[in-house]
Structure 1
């Protein structure tokens, strides 16, 4: 049915997008349908069982249009220019916020070890109870911290941490496999296949090992009726959430991987990465998928040493294998993958040390970004909160400084990040895409190591000046 169609569509578009990202952009940033936009697409736009104001086919048309718009913006360099406009402290904070976000997901029962569950009184509380003591809202009613899967997940986390301490290659993958294999036998307290109707169904699917389901109901199911105002609201929401989500994730992964250029605040291959992302959105809509975006779990590959597109190509190959071995890949329990998310989250928190905490105009918006990403459960909304607070605080300071001719300024005003000077230096001209430079017979400047940043930046500015 539709559910199996969507599994095939997700694997297919993720495979294609990852291989294109690795081959063309040479970056270890994987692509797949984003879970946040998945939820918005399914429950807000289309609605539960089609009860929303926009039909499924019409919503797919909006996703396709979004991909085309993003492709045009990437070709002319506007997506890169927008990324440059985000203050340095907020880009750094986004990486730290994603780290907490990953850890928070890894602690939950739906996608992690189940150490944290929801609570009607305090929003979240300590969980870790056996599944039979959870109510319909996944809240533990009794026997907290007595669930075998939770303790197995904690053991997996300690195992991964110990192996990383000794710099053992493949530590995260080994930890996932060990916990998963322990969870597969049925007559245990930590089994992923309990003797229940749902457990029996999952075990029967697991025993198939190899299966394939072709896309029958969702392929190219477009309906190009754009007369409704609701479809335009959905399109605009897709646009601004996806551009913030994808931009924040890509730059955070670049920061985490150590290939972000501190002087230009860009990374090599960013133009092609944005093009691949936008093309994947449009292609994915033909498969029946919600918007494709860079996903934060890419940090796991980077944490294991991935620095090139080979990492992403291997991810794409694994998605291809998953098309046929879905019973195996679908049987990895959340308490096996949760420790990996927590570990990567801890690694990404090191970026918090690079935030300019000395100046509150940079530090407070960065902190708001960090906390709003996990608490708002959205990278895009976290960035919106951070950018909004940054604009309000620093615009007020800037206006007072100019009106008073420099007499009214914070005591440590000189400690601020020079965001205005950084953005206005070269303006939008400094973000001319490489293909335009080649069109005028110029060799695009490459982003080099920090020691060569100055000379490379001078070369880029000289090329732009010759063109313009």
Structure 2
């Protein structure tokens, strides 16, 4: 068997496929060491196993918008979700459950299809081992803040999709110009970290509710939220538990699912989140139990009949190309800007962290191999995802599982995309996963995203207060945008006041611990600010002019150092290579553990800055020694 695999690896490496993906033995001048076809296939499957939960979770969350079903709602017609003699007006109740179930089936197909297309495209054109799919966090903001439960927000599902579509086009322009990294660097580091923490708390809050979670918390007229866990017959009109709290079998089943996921992650079992979801779901498929997802009523019977098909290809009926370009509301533009900002931190941070982990980072430019086509692919997939009816598509940190398995080329991503293609034919299975099975995944992912709270600088008030407001306002206002705006406004007011007082006093009145604040944000693209030009444009200018524009920016056009002989930087390069090799070793943690969206971006920035500073100091010292000689 080993001989067959070896011959297969050799044959693929020596083929045009091997040369395109730079496999070892392909005779490509930039062939990546230790890359083999069989290893890439195994790595792609590992990435899929850790990402597969997104099919059920994303469809469940976005289906809470009601999709296009809100148009079918008639408050006076009981067959369309209303009550005879009830209130009139749009969106005053819920659409029929049958229609929502169709929306969820559509979104299962949309999620799997976009994961297939995006992962395959980024592997084919960027040669990066990244899995892509509609992202967590941003899908919750899309559903519960922008559109609202069953369309109760200020803009409709169709208009929100239009915002996502336009955002993708904006990203396309930013990606071509190479400005995505610049925008990510323009946000204060502490607010970027707090954004990831706040989204984590937001996801946890959703996972504890009943609509998309385990029902652990419920509405409370006195305290807004309170302890839940009661069956539906013990709820009042506001949704609060009147009695029998923590007696719902479904809530306890969700708690068990969270326990299973936690233990499996503790022992580094790959696919722990998916295993936990499937365990709870399978238990909920038995009809004559208190936790069944198929009760003996019309809704349960309809779900069960579809579930029994097991293998079926569902065609999208209600979410395909339903965008409505009503651009004349402030809510639309607020949603668009928030989508833009969160996706900048999400995708950019994730791609940089995965590139760093895989060893693709260039310490001189602060960029990674294939970054421009990767960002362009992501931008196009964001807009295409809106056509399918889902929220922003982004790179997943679960890609680290495949990289840990040895994935280093786009074949890993293509294999992940192929697995998502196969899942398209099992939509009856994914549509039968109940919210108390996916809720534990939301809580667990949320807990992982709060890990980076320790990276916030709590020693300096000008850093800590804006960061705290950012992470606290997101779950408490049920709005990611309000958290971002609150944090940025606080940062401007507090630090702006300190700056004005310091200038007016001639530097006599300054905070005693001002030296403990984080460095001011950088608006320059390189690791030490070597200009704002995108990497591809820098390379083009270098080729046209026959010189290194980064070196020119560093020394200055009239600097005498330009006329000095090129210093011997061998020692510096060796030290830099040694440090880069250390960076390639991943901490011994569970492969599927997602790092926070924002912390990865800031971590990569800090790491690159330190390495580049070390490199420059070595060059500077060598140049000084030459002058003395």
Same fold (TM over 0.5): yes
Mark the runs of 5 or more structure 1 residues left unpaired by the alignment.
461-468
How far apart are the structure 1 equivalents of 2:380 and 2:451?
A: 33
Q: Partner of 2:450 in structure 1?
A: 349
Q: Could you tell me the TM-score, scaled by structure 1's length?
A: 0.79
How far apart are the structure 1 equivalents of 2:205 and 2:148?
A: 22
The answer as to 2:350 corresponding to 1:247 is no
How far apart are the structure 2 equivalents of 1:59 and 1:144?
A: 36
Give the conservation status (yes or no) of the 8 Å contact 2:213–2:435: yes
| 1:193 Cα deviation after fit | 1.5
Structure 1 segment 29-44 matched on structure 2, within 5 A: 30-31=133-134, 34-38=139-143, 42=147
User: Structure 1 294/415 Cα, relative in aligned 2: closer, same or farther at 3 Å?
Assistant: same
The answer as to 2:150 corresponding to 1:150 is no
Q: Partner of 1:338 in structure 2?
A: 439
| Residue of structure 1 aligned with 2:285, choices 181, 184, 188 | 184
How far apart are the structure 2 equivalents of 1:83 and 1:5?
A: 33
How far apart are the structure 2 equivalents of 1:139 and 1:264?
A: 57
* Count of matched residue pairs: 448
| 1:7 Cα deviation after fit | 5.0
| 1:457 Cα deviation after fit | 6.5
Q: Partner of 1:405 in structure 2?
A: 506
User: Structure 1 168/38 Cα, relative in aligned 2: closer, same or farther at 3 Å?
Assistant: closer
| Residue of structure 2 aligned with 1:212, choices 306, 309, 313 | 313
| 1:364 Cα deviation after fit | 1.0
Larger radius of gyration: 2
Give the conservation status (yes or no) of the 8 Å contact 1:119–1:125: yes
How far apart are the structure 1 equivalents of 2:202 and 2:404?
A: 21
Give the secondary structure class of the aligned counterpart of 2:219: strand
The answer as to 2:239 corresponding to 1:141 is no
Q: Partner of 1:163 in structure 2?
A: 264
| 1:202 Cα deviation after fit | 1.6
| 1:76 Cα deviation after fit | 1.2
Structure 1 segment 211-290 matched on structure 2, within 5 A: 211-215=312-316, 219=320, 230=328, 233=330, 236-250=333-347, 253=350, 259=356, 268=368, 271-287=372-388, 289=389
Give the conservation status (yes or no) of the 8 Å contact 1:116–1:125: yes
Q: Could you tell me the TM-score, scaled by structure 2's length?
A: 0.61
User: Structure 1 315/234 Cα, relative in aligned 2: closer, same or farther at 3 Å?
Assistant: farther
| 1:305 Cα deviation after fit | 8.0
Higher relative contact order (CA 8 A, sep 6+): 1
Give the conservation status (yes or no) of the 8 Å contact 1:20–1:276: yes
Give the conservation status (yes or no) of the 8 Å contact 1:28–1:302: no
Q: What CA deviation, in whole Å up to 9, does each residue of 1:344-388 have, x standing for no partner? A: 322332211111111011111111111122223343432222112
Q: Partner of 1:82 in structure 2?
A: 183
Q: What CA deviation, in whole Å up to 9, does each residue of 1:118-151 have, x standing for no partner? A: 2232121111112443456543333110011111
Q: Partner of 1:382 in structure 2?
A: 483
| Residue of structure 1 aligned with 2:519, choices 418, 422, 443 | 418
Give the secondary structure class of the aligned counterpart of 2:328: helix
Give the conservation status (yes or no) of the 8 Å contact 2:227–2:245: yes
Structure 1 segment 37-186 matched on structure 2, within 5 A: 37-38=142-143, 42=147, 56=158, 63-135=164-236, 138-186=239-287
Q: Partner of 2:10 in structure 1?
A: none
| 1:413 Cα deviation after fit | 0.6
Give the conservation status (yes or no) of the 8 Å contact 2:163–2:336: no
User: Structure 1 381/154 Cα, relative in aligned 2: closer, same or farther at 3 Å?
Assistant: same
How far apart are the structure 2 equivalents of 1:54 and 1:108?
A: 23
| 1:174 Cα deviation after fit | 2.2
Mark the runs of 5 or more structure 2 residues left unpaired by the alignment.
1-98, 551-576, 584-605, 617-629
The answer as to 2:462 corresponding to 1:361 is yes
How far apart are the structure 1 equivalents of 2:122 and 2:479?
A: 23
Give the secondary structure class of the aligned counterpart of 2:494: helix
User: Structure 1 305/368 Cα, relative in aligned 2: closer, same or farther at 3 Å?
Assistant: farther
Which is further off, 139-148 or 271-280? Answer: 271-280
| 1:70 Cα deviation after fit | 2.2
The alignment yields a C-alpha RMSD, in angstroms, of 4.2
User: Structure 1 20/417 Cα, relative in aligned 2: closer, same or farther at 3 Å?
Assistant: same
